[in-house]
Amino acid sequence: MTTHAPVLTERYLLSPDMIADPYGHLDALRDHAPVHWSPLHHAWLVTGYDQVMRCLRDPAVSADRVRPLMDAVPQGAREDAERAFGILSRWMVFNDPPEHRRLRQVFQEAFAARAVARYRAFTEKATRAVLARRATPGRTGDLLADVARPLPALVFARWLGVPPTDGPSFWYWNARVADLVLGTAQEESEYRASLQALVSLDDYLGALVARRRAEPGDDLISQVLREGRVGDSVTEEEFVGMLTQMAFAGGETTSNLIANTVLALHTRPDQLAAVRAEPELAQGAVEETLRLDGPSKMSIRTAARDLDLDGRTLRAGDRIFLVTAAANRDPARFPDPGRFDVRRSGATHLGFGFGAHFCIGAALARLVAVAAVRTLMCDHPGLTLADPGRPTWQPSLLNRGLTALPVHY
Quick check: 44 and 318 in contact, CB under 8 A?
yes
Per-residue model confidence (pLDDT) at position 2: 42
Per-residue model confidence (pLDDT) at position 389: 81
Tell me which residue of 78, 81, 102, 84 sits closest to 92, measured CA to CA. Answer: 102
Quick check: 34 and 51 in contact, CB under 8 A?
yes
Neighbours of 269 (CB within 10 A): 9
Per-residue model confidence (pLDDT) at position 66: 79
- The CA R_g of the chain, rounded to the nearest whole Å, is 21
Q: Which residues contact 128 (CB under 8 A, 6 or more apart)?
A: 375
* 348 φ/ψ angles, rounded to the nearest 5 degrees: -80, 125
Per-residue model confidence (pLDDT) at position 4: 46
Q: How many CA atoms are closer than 13 Å to the CA of 233, on its beta-carbon side?
A: 15
Question: What is the rounded distance in angstroms from the CA atom of residue 331 to the CA atom of residue 353?
Answer: 19
Question: What is the rounded distance in angstroms from the CA atom of residue 43 to the CA atom of residue 314?
Answer: 10
Low-confidence residues of the chain: pLDDT under 50: 1-5
Per-residue model confidence (pLDDT) at position 115: 86
Per-residue model confidence (pLDDT) at position 186: 74
Amino acid in the structure at residue 239: F
Determine the distance from the C-alpha atom of residue 230 to the mean position of all C-alpha atoms in its chain, rounded to a whole number: 26
Quick check: 356 and 101 in contact, CB under 8 A?
yes
Domain 31-62+298-350 class in CATH: alpha beta
Amino acid in the structure at residue 363: A
Q: For domain 63-296+351-408, which CATH number applies: 3.40.30.10, 3.30.110.40, 1.10.10.10, 1.10.630.10?
A: 1.10.630.10
Per-residue model confidence (pLDDT) at position 235: 96
pLDDT single digits (tens) 89-139: 999 999 998 999 999 999 988 888 888 898 999 999 999 999 999 988 889
Q: Where are the domains of the chain?
A: 31-62+298-350, 63-296+351-408
Longest dimension (CA), the chain: 80
